[in-house]
Structure 1
């Protein structure tokens, strides 16, 4: 058979992470009655019990793409690897219960190094009360690769998907945003200084909060109970891993709604703001495009405004609109500009359009 040397080749960067997933899985129909929700949300949903649903999500962390061991301690990395997966379970309004961990390592890693990694995994398991129930290890020629699968549970009526937002819902976010990205900028700067002068010891005390947001984030397992106590059922939910702008667009696209996001309502930590000023970069740009905050973004009915407005854990940052009105950022000057998804693109190794 003669090889066709004129075959067109499509780069992965062209598709982007979500485009690639959609492309590769388009022809995989569900075949089991127990599969309630497969690919397309923060986690899969399985049903083996009439009252309680099983929720599953998996993620890869690759050295040189998702983390740099020059400033990521292995213990912190193990903890973070668990957290980023538990966050997806939380984004379904579910409770994480188990994880599996698989790693691929090159021969430059010692047993002691892997013990440090697993000590961080253990700390996360103990803190979040999840069980490590399996995994795999293999060799790697490209450094360290970590794959974690998280399992969770929720009652059918409690589950929240990305596609349930309605027109005139309130857009709410937990915690504050942008800190993890600015923590990364500080670490990258100090790495460059160290490469020039290895004797230089960085003073990172003034950046402790945002660096912790990057190296040791936390999953918002508390939000499910908080909302239940407030008697609120979100209409749609997603976690903020790839940047607020990207996640808003995912939620709006799947819910077929538009959105107005208000610049003056964004919850920003003072340390984040001062670091943006030091780097001479716009805090709003960093807040809506920086990723890895692992906060939860969700929509609620307008009738729930009074329940949320004074809660210190939650911020109302906008509202949904009819789909044809589009997705916009309303600036402090009351200018309406189209919101662009410039969050993290896992396939380009840099920030860009998703």
Structure 2
């Protein structure tokens, strides 16, 4: 069973239970309307030693920041402002003292930067490695929520930054090169929180999510839920310095925003984004009415076996 096959099986098995007003499985966050034209958004993410990080290659402070960052990214990817988190952590004996304090310093620093409260959680002993689970809560006007299911044929596909740095950094870490700039970028993702909130207010932006498993995988979620296809110009994918095109398309954990926007407003959106953030939105292709993902090179279809990250 694949990761997303497992998630789909879970969704089906719970489909006959009451939703209690939640929009549930399928987007970056679950959505709960709270009245007055607003909703709360909830997401949870898990980091496990040996799967998501190597303790010998990642400082406790870096892991504290990353554990929070990946959750803030999910909230921002739906156009919401993160407001609070819950943190649960399982620690082996050799990480329960100074390591834990340093972890919390990193977690607090990023919380302070984005004005996010820590409002609860749990701690327990681990007989194995470290496991960290964060639940993040966002708040948003209903009209600003961006869903994966809202892409429309003719939309321009944008990414919010250069891709592949994290994947290349992971290669460095696995090769024992822990002090490279790319390795540092992998350990210290920067969620596009302000960018996500700003894009959420833009009516010309239709679908949006963040890039955690890689463009080749994550774009497929938008296409499936929106019932559309896409053509991506491989030469327009922004490749980070030190990475290669395949890593930019397939490598995970870049945490840049992936969005679709009305073609008639795309240039204006891109210019306004640059004016606001001093960095470009990168147009990389178009949404098509016919399903499937097509990779183009010099305007012609090219067969590529590109796949993003999968846990299973």
TM-score tier after normalising by the smaller chain length: over 0.9
Counterparts of 1:244 and 1:251, CA distance in 2: 11
Q: CA RMSD in A?
A: 1.8
Structure 1 position 245, deviation (Å): 0.5
Q: Give 3-state SS (helix, strand or coil) of 2:282's partner.
A: strand
2:278 corresponds to 1:318 = no
Structure 1 residues 102 and 190 mapped into 2: Cα distance closer, same or farther (>3 Å)? Answer: same
Is the Cα–Cα contact under 8 Å of residues 78 and 200 in structure 2 kept in the other structure? no
Structure 1 residues 140 and 228 mapped into 2: Cα distance closer, same or farther (>3 Å)? Answer: closer
2:82 corresponds to 1:96 = yes
Is the Cα–Cα contact under 8 Å of residues 327 and 339 in structure 1 kept in the other structure? no
- The number of residues matched between the two structures is 305
Match of 1:250 among 199, 207, 221: 221
Structure of higher CA gyration radius: 1
Q: Which residue of 1 aligns with 2:307?
A: 342
TM-score, with length taken from structure 2: 0.92
User: Aligned runs of 1:182-193 on 2, under 5 Å?
Assistant: 182-190=168-176
More displaced stretch, 46-55 vs 252-261 = 46-55
Q: Which residue of 2 aligns with 1:45?
A: 31
Q: Which residue of 2 aligns with 1:272?
A: 242
Structure 1 position 52, deviation (Å): 1.0
Is the Cα–Cα contact under 8 Å of residues 246 and 306 in structure 2 kept in the other structure? no
Structure 1 position 93, deviation (Å): 0.9
Structure 1 position 225, deviation (Å): 4.6
Structure 1 position 228, deviation (Å): 6.4
Unpaired segments ≥5 residues, structure 1: 1-14, 192-201, 274-282, 348-354
Counterparts of 1:20 and 1:343, CA distance in 2: 17
Counterparts of 2:92 and 2:308, CA distance in 1: 30
* CA deviation string 1:6-32 (max 9, x = no partner): xxxxxxxxx222111111231213525
TM-score, with length taken from structure 1: 0.82
Match of 1:289 among 246, 250, 253: 250
Q: Which residue of 2 aligns with 1:8?
A: none
Counterparts of 2:200 and 2:42, CA distance in 1: 22
Is the Cα–Cα contact under 8 Å of residues 105 and 138 in structure 1 kept in the other structure? yes
User: Aligned runs of 1:120-269 on 2, under 5 Å?
Assistant: 120-190=106-176, 204=179, 207-208=180-181, 210-227=182-199, 231-269=202-240
Structure 1 position 138, deviation (Å): 1.2
Counterparts of 1:259 and 1:219, CA distance in 2: 25
Counterparts of 1:102 and 1:341, CA distance in 2: 35
2:296 corresponds to 1:327 = no
Q: Give 3-state SS (helix, strand or coil) of 2:104's partner.
A: helix
Q: Which residue of 1 aligns with 2:262?
A: 301
